[in-house]
């Protein structure tokens, strides 16, 4: 799988070229920047919906600007019954563009959206253009919740559109309460800035800079930038070289050897270096390599692995010596003499970006003293609750200081990760002793001077859902910086490495300054993400000399040999046009291969003897080479050309003429090979005499036909090659039967049946030969294959599975060994079954049930394999939903041999007619929630769900009424009507909650109001409200004060007085709290009955969340779609 990573935003450089687009795997948890590949299911008409759409372009100039915003309003959006939809064409930078959307997703359950070159089919050959752009879906209720994603791309004929297959979940887009569809209208925006293009391929990194880059395996630029940074810390590189490895180790199984090998190649190679050996040594499967991980996470895991591998060796402790620092967490009481301290180590420091202008501000925040007082007093041993100060100070900093900048944060309101692109400065020299050592603890060694020099800047370009990483490094700490961007290394000035990576906004100058137009501002999505500083006093030790003597001899020999082989291959490739590869098949190859490696045709040409011959050499000289190599004198050799027939079989066609043999090898290849590849395929005919020694080939007339013979044994289910014969066209098969019996080892009068093997793709064609008709009348010609077998005995009791040649060839052609895995253990093969590709759905599940000892095959449910992600596909195979086994195994243009199975508790056809819902039942008096799985026919209603639930739950009284609610992120969005069909209810994104309807709600007076009540906290850093806990409804009566309402709420929630006294109460509308006093009349705030989105107006209970933290809190600095980085070895 090739995962496309957008190149960095860089006006002076052309971005990284993209790999050839390949079919896109359906990954639900993974956002990929990809060209739109919707034609994978076969070409589709480029239909465009006639939806009512309007569009506007806001540009800097009346003429054609280098940057502009295009707004597209799409009406009747949910009623668009079409796969894809194009916007009007708009002009930016002299080029025509348009937006392409897939309203129901491009084979995913997300909105898919791309920027498209509108006139790509009419542009001249070799065109390309580069643009930085963002695509947005506007939130029409609350603009700040608009979803915007940005990237940049080099557009060309192969990739004329680029964007986001998983732009946003369809569930969010089509939910009317979310604000993305209002009055069934969707508003889409594109901000496009066209950039200058520079030739990418002509750059020789080694020649220009003295350094080489690393190849990108897919989305491994995050790893490449980190590896370059570590490589350019020479003391680290030297210690990696000194890790003990042996010549018996394999790089793919040993992290130390793979890293040594990679560093050696970076040091001595002239071209970019591959990282596959290293990722294989991590134990990563190919899918992992294409998952973009977090640099910081990889850095930590790799450091821990190396530290572990260095234990007990001469380099033990290197990681700690270089990267480990210590800080002290302290709590100090103000009024009593009590202090608690805890020393902790760190390999890197996470610094806040939001709210900090530079690194110093982040360090100030890091050591900021927090006061523990009031409700938050510290419980000190022997002294009880005390006012205290809490903070962190540094005991020591490491020689190499790695600073991780927190560019990614969790946005509670949007329930997603966001990238912080704010301006954030960092100095070339970082003085951590400043202001009398304000960052240092009293125990710090004051003789150490903590002055640091910037060594490298790791940059992330793009958004939270993916992007591109590269690094600016100055390897010797001189003034010369270098940019390491995958395979490309360039010299850069300090401004590019520093100021341009601060982030913030970039102002593009107006295209026509004479016009009254505002400057076009673009957020800079390329900014520093990780900084590496080296301590001034340690730089001589760290920037040390590393040469060949640091590299183990076995490693030098191994890598030099590898280098020589690579050089030899390169040389061969460079000289390939001077040579022809001649592949010579012989009788021995046919005997060796038929019935083992191959069954159809005669030979696998990749497994025969091959010669690399200069094109200008005469063919007769080549024959001498064959005589030398194969021991067959020239006068006994006769060569036949192979020909590809119309039915796709490949057979010897005719012998070479003496005139052809006098030609050069190159001329002969051109005559024989219309496909014009570099190979010449030949069959060498050698006749053997009585003593099995070669004899001159027999004279051949036009009447002679060369036939090849295979023998089939039904009892052994075995096919083998037994030889070839020249027959006369006017002769009949009956005349050669004794000869065939002799070749087979049968008695001379054995009855045999003959079949011609005609073709095998797409289906087998194998026809019986009439023994009494001439070979010519049976249309047999040179190179044809005759299969024969003993005639089946009439009335014989021996039953063979495949009694004749056609049935056996059919079996071989369609047989398929399938590896079955349990869906619960998707990485482990559990058992294998030999099946036929023609087996239908029932045949396959019957064989699986039989193997598992299961009586009812309909309880087996199968799931196909995704060849790209190496995981099960998200949707199982429907009951009899595919015709044949071959359909179950195909994934786009690849075929797998893996199927996943699960055993259901009810038959699959029955299950498919049912809808399964997970419902959380909240008990009315007990503080408990029980999840129930409800399975009902799809046409059932919510009323049916409630009736089913009543039989499973404990009610407060037999006549209790239940209702079903839709809850999402601690807000109630809907009470389901009893008549609503359950087929369309989605419990994937929302929680379905069932509860008893309180008595007070059943008898609402004319002036009573039912309001939403939610718990909330204020997130001061984000200046946002964060909901938590269980939302509920409350009846408020006319004239009721907050004090009265509070009393009822306390009783309902059973909160102790002491805790309840700390709670605050507010009326919230669209996220803004308006705090209430006890005397306020609550109902007066909830007057409007036509509020769009009732869930956005609620009574808020502000207090601390005492429940256990949600899982995302522990992981706020990781992209939500990522798998954690694991190195398995």
Active site residues: 221, 468
Element (H, E) at 1018: strand 1009-1019
- Which DSSP letter does residue 884 get? B
Q: Count of H helices and E strands in the chain?
A: 27, 59
Q: What are phi and psi of 869, to 5 degrees?
A: -85, -10
**Cis ω on the peptide bond leading into residue 762 (within 30° of 0)?**
yes
Q: Please answer whether residues 437 and 446 qualify as being in contact, where contact means their C-beta atoms are separated by less than 8 angstroms.
A: yes
Q: Which residue has the tokens 């059932």?
A: 940
Tokens for 653, please give them: 């066609």
**403 CB contacts (<8 Å, ≥6 apart)?**
348, 349, 351, 359, 426, 530, 531, 532, 533
Q: Please answer whether residues 898 and 847 qualify as being in contact, where contact means their C-beta atoms are separated by less than 8 angstroms.
A: no
Q: Which residues pair with 788 in a beta bridge?
A: 711, 754
Q: Which residue has the tokens 């080489």?
A: 212
Tokens for 61, please give them: 């100039």
Distance CA 718, CA 142 (A): 73
The three state secondary structure string of 47-84 is CCCCCCEEEEEEECCCCCCCEEEEEEEECCHHHCCCCC
Give the three-state DSSP class for 1083. helix
Tokens for 876, please give them: 């199982």
- How far lies 317's CA from each of 226, 298, 308, 504, 519, in Å? 21, 19, 9, 40, 54
Distance CA 1039, CA 325 (A): 63
**Four-residue CA torsion sign, 877, 879, 881, 882:** positive
Give the three-state DSSP class for 542. helix
Q: Please answer whether residues 111 and 181 qualify as being in contact, where contact means their C-beta atoms are separated by less than 8 angstroms.
A: no
Q: Which residue has the tokens 């004329």?
A: 160
Distance CA 643, CA 637 (A): 19
- Which DSSP letter does residue 920 get? E
Give the three-state DSSP class for 900. strand
Q: Which residues pair with 333 in a beta bridge?
A: 388
Tokens for 463, please give them: 């958004």
Give the three-state DSSP class for 1020. coil
Q: Please answer whether residues 392 and 328 qualify as being in contact, where contact means their C-beta atoms are separated by less than 8 angstroms.
A: yes
Give the three-state DSSP class for 279. helix
Distance CA 812, CA 760 (A): 10
Element (H, E) at 309: helix 295-310
Distance CA 425, CA 435 (A): 19
Distance CA 966, CA 993 (A): 6
**Cis ω on the peptide bond leading into residue 52 (within 30° of 0)?**
no
């Amino acid at each position: 799988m090739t995962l496309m990573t957008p190149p960095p935003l860089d006006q002076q450089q052309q971005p990284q070229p993209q790999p050839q687009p390949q079919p896109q795997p359906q990954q639900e948890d993974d956002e990929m920047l990809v060209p739109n590949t919707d034609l994978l299911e076969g070409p589709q008409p480029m239909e465009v919906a006639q939806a009512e759409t309007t569009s506007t372009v806001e540009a800097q100039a009346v003429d054609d600007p280098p940057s502009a915003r295009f707004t597209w309003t799409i009406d009747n959006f949910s009623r668009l019954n079409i796969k894809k939809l194009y916007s009007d064409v708009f002009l930016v930078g002299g080029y025509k563009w348009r937006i392409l959307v897939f309203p129901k997703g491009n084979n995913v359950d997300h909105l898919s959206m791309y920027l498209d070159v509108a006139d790509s089919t009419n542009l001249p050959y070799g065109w390309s253009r580069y643009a930085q752009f963002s695509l947005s879906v506007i939130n029409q209720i609350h603009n700040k919740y608009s979803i915007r994603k940005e990237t940049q791309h080099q557009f060309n004929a192969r990739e004329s559109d680029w964007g986001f297959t998983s732009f946003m979940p369809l569930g969010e887009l089509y939910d009317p309460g979310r604000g993305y569809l209002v009055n069934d209208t969707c508003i889409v925006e594109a901000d496009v800035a066209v950039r200058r293009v520079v030739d990418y391929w002509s750059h020789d990194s080694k020649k220009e800079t003295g350094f080489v880059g690393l190849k990108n395996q897919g989305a491994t630029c995050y790893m490449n930038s980190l590896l370059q940074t570590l490589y350019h810390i020479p003391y680290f590189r030297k210690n990696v070289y000194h890790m003990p490895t042996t010549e018996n180790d394999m790089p793919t199984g040993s992290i130390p050897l793979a890293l040594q090998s990679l560093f050696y190649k970076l040091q001595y190679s002239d071209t970019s270096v591959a990282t596959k050996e290293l990722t294989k040594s991590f134990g990563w499967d190919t899918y992992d390599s294409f998952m973009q991980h977090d640099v910081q996470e990889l850095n930590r895991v790799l450091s821990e692995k190396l530290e572990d591998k260095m234990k007990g060796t001469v380099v033990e402790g290197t990681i700690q010596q270089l990267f480990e620092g210590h800080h002290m967490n302290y709590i100090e009481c103000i009024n009593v003499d009590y202090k608690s301290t805890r020393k902790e180590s760190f390999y890197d420091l996470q610094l806040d970006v939001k709210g900090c202008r530079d690194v110093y501000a982040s360090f100030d925040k890091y050591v900021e003293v927090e006061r523990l007082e009031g409700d938050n007093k510290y419980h000190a041993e022997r002294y009880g609750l005390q006012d205290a100060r809490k903070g962190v100070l540094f005991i020591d900093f490491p020689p190499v200081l790695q600073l991780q900048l927190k560019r990614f944060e969790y946005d509670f309101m949007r329930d997603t990760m966001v990238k912080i692109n704010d301006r954030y400065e960092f100095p070339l020299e970082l003085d951590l002793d400043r202001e009398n050592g304000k960052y240092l603890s009293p125990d710090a060694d004051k003789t150490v001077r903590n002055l640091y020099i910037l060594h490298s800047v790791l940059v992330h370009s793009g958004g939270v859902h993916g992007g591109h990483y590269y690094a600016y490094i100055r390897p010797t700490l001189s003034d010369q910086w270098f940019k390491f961007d995958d395979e490309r290394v360039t010299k850069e000035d300090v401004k590019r490495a520093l100021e341009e990576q601060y982030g913030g906004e970039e102002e593009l100058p107006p295209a026509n300054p004479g016009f009254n137009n505002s400057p076009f501002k673009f957020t800079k999505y390329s900014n520093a993400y990780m900084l590496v500083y080296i301590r001034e006093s340690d730089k001589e030790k760290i920037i040390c000399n590393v040469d060949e003597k640091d590299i183990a001899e076995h490693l030098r020999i191994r890598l030099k040999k590898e280098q020589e082989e690579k050089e030899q291959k390169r040389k061969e490739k460079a000289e390939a046009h001077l040579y022809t590869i001649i592949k010579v098949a012989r009788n021995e190859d046919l005997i060796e291969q038929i019935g083992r490696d191959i069954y159809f045709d005669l030979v696998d040409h990749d497994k025969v003897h091959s010669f690399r011959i200069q094109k200008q050499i005469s063919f007769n000289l080549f024959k001498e080479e064959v005589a030398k190599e194969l021991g067959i004198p020239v006068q006994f050799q006769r060569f036949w050309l192979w020909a590809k027939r119309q039915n796709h079989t490949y057979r010897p066609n005719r012998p070479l003429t003496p005139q052809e043999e006098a030609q050069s090898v190159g001329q002969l290849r051109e005559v024989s090979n219309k496909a014009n590849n570099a190979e010449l395929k030949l069959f060498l005919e050698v006749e053997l005499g009585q003593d099995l020694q070669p004899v001159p080939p027999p004279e051949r007339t036009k009447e002679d036909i060369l036939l090849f013979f295979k023998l089939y044994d039904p009892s052994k289910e075995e096919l083998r090659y037994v030889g070839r014969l020249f027959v006369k066209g006017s002769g009949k098969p009956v005349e050669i039967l004794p000869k065939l019996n002799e070749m087979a080892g049968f008695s001379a009068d054995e009855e045999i049946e003959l079949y011609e093997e005609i073709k095998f793709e797409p289906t087998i064609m194998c026809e019986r030969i009439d023994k009494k008709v001439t070979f010519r009348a049976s249309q047999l010609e040179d190179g044809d294959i005759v299969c024969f077998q003993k005639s089946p005995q009439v009335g014989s009791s021996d039953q063979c599975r495949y009694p004749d040649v056609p049935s056996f060839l059919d079996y071989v052609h369609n047989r398929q060994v399938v590896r079955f895995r349990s869906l619960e253990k998707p990485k482990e093969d559990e058992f294998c079954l030999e099946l036929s590709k023609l087996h239908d759905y029932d045949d396959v599940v019957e064989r699986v049930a039989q193997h598992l000892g299961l009586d009812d095959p309909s309880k087996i449910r199968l799931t196909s394999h995704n060849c790209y992600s190496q995981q099960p596909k998200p949707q199982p195979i429907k009951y009899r939903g595919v015709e044949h086994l071959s359909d179950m195994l195909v994934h786009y243009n690849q075929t797998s041999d893996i199927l996943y199975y699960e055993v259901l508790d009810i038959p699959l056809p029955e299950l498919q007619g049912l809808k399964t819902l997970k419902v959380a039942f909240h008990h009315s008096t007990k503080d408990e929630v029980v999840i129930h799985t409800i399975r009902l026919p799809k046409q059932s209603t919510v009323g049916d769900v409630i009736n089913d639930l009543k039989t499973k739950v404990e009610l407060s009284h037999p006549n209790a009424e239940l209702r079903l609610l839709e809850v999402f992120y601690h807000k109630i969005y809907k009470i389901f009507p009893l008549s609503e069909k359950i087929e369309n209810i989605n419990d994937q994104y929302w929680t379905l909650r069932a509860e008893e309807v309180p008595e007070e709600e059943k008898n609402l007076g004319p002036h009573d109001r039912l309001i939403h009540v939610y718990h909330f906290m204020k997130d001061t850093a984000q200046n946002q409200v964060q909901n938590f806990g269980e939302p509920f409804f409350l009846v408020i009566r006319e004239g009721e004060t907050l004090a009265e309402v509070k009393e009822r709420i306390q009783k309902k929630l059973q909160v102790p007085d002491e805790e309840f006294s700390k709670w605050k109460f507010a009326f919230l509308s669209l996220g803004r709290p308006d705090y209430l006093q006890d005397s306020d009349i609550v109902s007066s705030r909830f007057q409007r009955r036509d509020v769009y989105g009732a869930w956005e107006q609620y009574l808020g209970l502000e207090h601390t969340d005492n429940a256990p933290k949600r899982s995302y809190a522990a992981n706020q600095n990781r992209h939500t779609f990522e798998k954690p980085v694991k190195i398995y070895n």
